[in-house]
Structure 1
């Protein structure tokens, strides 16, 4: 038996096969995510939730979701999402924005612009997240494909569809999202 090299105290990370859960499966676990974020003030909870969902989706796209095959698929996904939510909640609690309160937007008269988060942008981001969550799955997937590094033609090939069909679905999804947002903002 060989002696482990210095610093190698743990076995290597698990090398399980990559899995690609759908965005619907991830969104179905929003209750677990919100329960994990219960210690965060309500005014910021939706923003941290959106960040958890975005980070989870990006990790799935990069192939970082590798659950243990012995676990049930839903249990593995829930454990993984809980870990992401837990880490982001920890980052939120220890962030400088939360720890330090700015009593005046321009302390000592040095700053000319307001300090802090743009509340209008926060509200708009929440509206868009809610509108996307209410869309059918194929429309959400079409909208999320725009953020992929691959082209629309590669997306169409991967999903075994005509590139014109993929473009049409993307156009329909954009129109549906715009319509929902227009209705909500009235």
Structure 2
């Protein structure tokens, strides 16, 4: 702790909100390294200078790891995260209209095609859906492909 100044000077580029955490990590890593016997200063250096060089090296490495971490590169700190949105938050009327069109189109499809399209929403997957219906999974996949094409054609005609 007596050489805290060299650590803080090395961590000067780190934002203040995280500087104390990185400083604590530097001191913890230094202490653990000493306990493992990794602190072996050059006998020609003065003891305090050797300790300062060594702490500077640890702080430098941890600061570079902090700056290059994905958390720091991608984090957006904002007091009101929803304030960053430029569009109003709420129900999108255009999406509702499109959803109604798709539902109306699905209602006009034959029952087996509706069932094939709804099988996509099965959490266990298409194979489990096919086994419950006692059909080959390839047949279920083929029916799904046919139903998707029919729905796309129907939507194109309506628009």
**Shorter-normalised TM range:** 0.3 to 0.5
More helix by share: 2
| Structure ID, larger Rg | 2
- Per the normalisation by structure 1, the TM-score is 0.41
**Taking structure 2 as the reference length, what is the TM-score of the superposition?**
0.48
